[in-house]
Structure 1
Amino acid sequence: MDVPTSLPLVFLILFLATFTRSALGFGGALIAMPLLTMVVGIRIATPLVAFMGITIALMILLKRWREVDVRSAFRLILASAVGVPVGIQLLQRVPEGLVKGILGFVLILFGVYQWLSPQLPQVNSLILEFLFGFFAGVLGGAYNINGPLIVVYGTLRKWKPEHFRATLQGYFLPTGIVILVSHKLAGLWTGQVFQYYFYSLPIILLGILIGGWAHKRLTAPIFLKVVYAFLILMGIKLMVGK
Structure 2
Amino acid sequence: MSTTYLLASLIFLFAGTVQGLTGFGAGLLAIPLLCLIMDVKLAVSVCIISTLLISTTLAWELRRFLDRRKILPLLLGSLPGIYTGTLLLKTIDPNLIKTLLGLLLIGVSCFNLVFTPKAINPARAWGYIAGFFSGAINATVAAGGPPAIIYTTLHDWKKEEIKATLTGFFMINGYLTAGVHAFSGLIGAQTLGYFAVTLPFVLAGTMIGSRIGGRINRRRYLQLVYGLLMGLGILMIVG
Same fold (TM over 0.5): yes
1:59 to 32, 57, 60: 57
Partner of 1:195: 193
* Superposed displacement of residue 115, structure 1: 0.4
Partner of 1:230: 228
Partner of 2:38: 40
Partner of 2:88: 90
Per-residue CA shift, 1:42-97, capped at 9, x if unaligned? Answer: 12110111111110111111222121232120111001012111111110111111
In the alignment, the residues of structure 1 paired with residue 140 and residue 179 of structure 2 have an alpha-carbon distance, to the nearest angstrom, of: 16
1:139 to 137, 140, 153: 137
Partner of 1:214: 212
2:3 to 5, 9, 14: 5
1:160 to 158, 161, 164: 158
In the alignment, the residues of structure 2 paired with residue 119 and residue 231 of structure 1 have an alpha-carbon distance, to the nearest angstrom, of: 17
Runs of 4+ in 1 over 4 A off after TM superposition: none
* Superposed displacement of residue 140, structure 1: 1.8
Partner of 1:112: 110
- 2:102 aligned partner, one-letter code: G
1:22 to 5, 13, 20: 20
Per-residue CA shift, 1:126-173, capped at 9, x if unaligned? Answer: 221111111111112222222111111111123221111111111011
Partner of 1:180: 178
With normalisation by structure 1, the TM-score equals 0.94
In the alignment, the residues of structure 1 paired with residue 81 and residue 219 of structure 2 have an alpha-carbon distance, to the nearest angstrom, of: 32
SS state of the match for residue 166, structure 2?
helix
In the alignment, the residues of structure 1 paired with residue 59 and residue 186 of structure 2 have an alpha-carbon distance, to the nearest angstrom, of: 26
| Structure 2, gaps ≥5 residues long | none
| Residue pair 2:73, 2:125 contacting (<8 A) in 1 also | no
In the alignment, the residues of structure 1 paired with residue 66 and residue 209 of structure 2 have an alpha-carbon distance, to the nearest angstrom, of: 18
Instruction: State the Cα RMSD in Å.
Output: 1.4
| Structure 1, gaps ≥5 residues long | none
SS state of the match for residue 81, structure 2?
helix
With normalisation by structure 2, the TM-score equals 0.95
2:71 to 46, 68, 73: 73
1:170 to 168, 171, 174: 168
SS state of the match for residue 26, structure 1?
coil
| Residue pair 2:127, 2:148 contacting (<8 A) in 1 also | no
In the alignment, the residues of structure 1 paired with residue 121 and residue 93 of structure 2 have an alpha-carbon distance, to the nearest angstrom, of: 31
Per-residue CA shift, 1:190-234, capped at 9, x if unaligned? Answer: 211110101111111111221111111111111111111011011
* Superposed displacement of residue 123, structure 1: 2.6
